[in-house]
């Protein structure tokens, strides 16, 4: 009876050797053996290998649960009303056609979606993340020239027949997005007039935004620009809290850190914003709009360009 006969039936799956070995280490005729025979055990602790070995049944159940959870998350992300304005604007059947090619992804702060001068691998439809577009001026120096949130698409140039990025796209606010491979996007884009229309609208908005940014940098005070920038970032992340450091702002707006701190202090003294390290909170949106330059009203708000 001792040896293999005393062990419960285990199908020869990978890992079953280790499971068998761990089971042999268990005390004979203990409560453990009785529970195993009754099928009430999920896993054995393998003291020799210092890990946990699952029973095949339990392992399968965990895998099935994990895949159900990811399917549910995906489904929840796909339910209408859609978080991304471009996808939401497509007719239902067009959207359902795109759906199998869309992949739900979670993006961390600082993730580079595409590099300047490199091919664009994916087109991103942000759901609740914000992506900033950085243009290289000198080597090692990048300035923000665009910001994309739920209102737009990252990788617009693919639709304009250019598959190499002119800017670097970096995630500024972590969140989720739907993405589609560049090749698949190209095929669907040629086929769908609605998608073309939406993309041209986005491209035109981006162009207007870039023009306005250039004009703004040339003609407005930094404090006005900062107020405008904070409002734009807040609109796109749909939150009054922005998780940014002064250093980050100084880098992407290409000013000295001291200038950022001075402008922030000035805005805080008027109770328009408040900040602690790493977080800026907008307290008075209307007040901040009054301080910001006219650029915010002309191209800043996502729906203003719709």
Partner 1 sequence: MSRRTVKPKPQAAEFTTVVVLRLYVAGGAPNSMQAIANLEAICAEYLKDGHKLEVVDVLENPRRAMAEGVLVTPSLSKLSPQPVAQVIGNLSDKRQVMLALGLKPHGG
Contact partners, residue 175, CB within 8 Å, separation at least 6 = 106, 107, 126, 127, 128, 129, 130, 237
Work out whether 71 is an interface residue with partner 1 (CB under 8 A): no
Binding residue for partner 1 (CB under 8 A) from 13, 17, 57, 207? 57
3-state secondary structure at position 172: strand
**Residue 289 binds to partner 1 (criterion: CB under 8 A):** no
Instruction: Choose which of 5, 9, 12, 50 interacts with partner 1 (CB under 8 A).
Output: 50
Give least dist CB 44 to partner 1, A. Answer: 5
113 lines the binding site for partner 1 (CB under 8 A): no
At 223, list the tokens: 């404090």
**Beta carbon of residue 303, minimum distance to partner 1 (angstroms, whole number):** 42
**On the CB side of 157, how many CA atoms lie within 13 Å of its CA?**
17
What is the SS3 assignment for 38? coil
The torsion defined by the Cα of 210, 215, 218 and 221, in degrees rounded to 10, comes to -100
Q: Shortest distance, CB of residue 58 to partner 1, whole angstroms?
A: 4
If one asks whether residue 9 binds partner 1 (CB under 8 A), the answer comes out as no
CA 177 to the chain's CA centroid: 5
Task: Based on the shown chain and the rule CB under 8 A, indicate whether residue 294 belongs to the binding site for partner 1.
Answer: no
Q: Are 170 and 288 in contact (CB under 8 A)?
A: no
Q: By CB under 8 A, which span of 46-54, 139-147, 214-222, 291-299 interacts with partner 1?
A: 46-54
Q: Which of residues 13, 17, 42, 191 is near partner 1 by CB under 8 A?
A: 42
Selected from 6, 7, 10, 54, the binder of partner 1 by CB under 8 A is 54
Among 6, 26, 210, 305, binds partner 1 (CB under 8 A): 26
3-state secondary structure of 276: strand
Question: How far apart, in whole angstroms, are the C-alpha atoms of residue 291 and residue 225?
Answer: 9
For the record, the structure tokens of 174 come out as 């972590």
Report CA Rg, the chain: 27
Q: Does 11 bind partner 1 (CB under 8 A)?
A: no
Q: Does 29 bind partner 1 (CB under 8 A)?
A: no
Stretch that binds partner 1, among 45-53, 161-169, 203-211, 253-261 (CB under 8 A): 45-53
Cβ atoms of residues 73 and 104 within 8 Å: yes
> What would you measure as the largest C-alpha separation in the chain, in angstroms?
90
Q: Does 52 bind partner 1 (CB under 8 A)?
A: yes
Q: How far apart are CA 250 and CA 283, in angstroms?
A: 21
**Is residue 160 at the binding interface for partner 1, with CB under 8 A as the rule?**
no
Binding mask 199-238 for partner 1 (x = CB under 8 A): ----------------------------------------
For binding to partner 1 (CB under 8 A), which residues are involved? 26-27, 31-32, 34-36, 38-45, 47, 50-52, 54, 57-59, 61-62, 65
């Amino acid at each position: 009876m001792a040896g293999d006969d005393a062990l419960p039936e285990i199908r020869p799956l990978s890992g079953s050797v280790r499971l068998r070995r761990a089971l042999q280490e268990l005390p004979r005729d203990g409560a453990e053996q009785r529970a195993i025979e009754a099928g009430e055990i999920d896993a054995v602790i393998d003291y020799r290998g210092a890990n946990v070995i699952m029973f095949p049944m339990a392992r399968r159940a965990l895998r099935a649960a994990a895949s159900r959870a990811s399917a549910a998350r995906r489904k929840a992300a796909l339910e209408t009303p859609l978080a991304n304005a471009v996808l939401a604007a497509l007719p239902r059947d067009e959207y359902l056609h795109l759906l199998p090619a869309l992949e739900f992804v979670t993006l961390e702060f600082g993730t580079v979606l595409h590099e300047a001068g490199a091919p664009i691998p994916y087109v991103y439809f942000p759901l609740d993340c914000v992506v900033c577009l950085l243009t290289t001026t000198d080597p090692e120096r990048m300035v923000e020239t665009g910001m994309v949130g739920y209102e737009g698409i990252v990788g617009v140039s693919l639709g304009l027949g250019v598959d190499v990025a002119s800017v670097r796209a970096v995630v500024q606010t972590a969140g989720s997005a739907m993405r589609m491979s560049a090749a698949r996007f190209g095929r669907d884009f040629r086929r769908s007039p609605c998608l073309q229309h939406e993309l041209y609208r986005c491209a035109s908005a981006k162009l207007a935004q870039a023009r306005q940014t250039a004009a703004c940098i040339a003609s407005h005070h930094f404090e006005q620009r900062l107020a405008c920038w904070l409002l734009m970032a807040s609109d796109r992340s749909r939150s009054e809290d922005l998780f940014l450091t002064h250093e980050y702002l100084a880098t992407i707006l290409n000013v000295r850190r001291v200038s950022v701190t001075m402008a922030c202090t000035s805005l805080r003294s008027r109770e328009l914003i408040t900040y602690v390290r790493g977080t800026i909170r907008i307290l008075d949106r209307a007040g901040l709009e009054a301080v910001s330059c006219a650029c915010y009203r002309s191209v800043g708000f996502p729906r203003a360009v719709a």
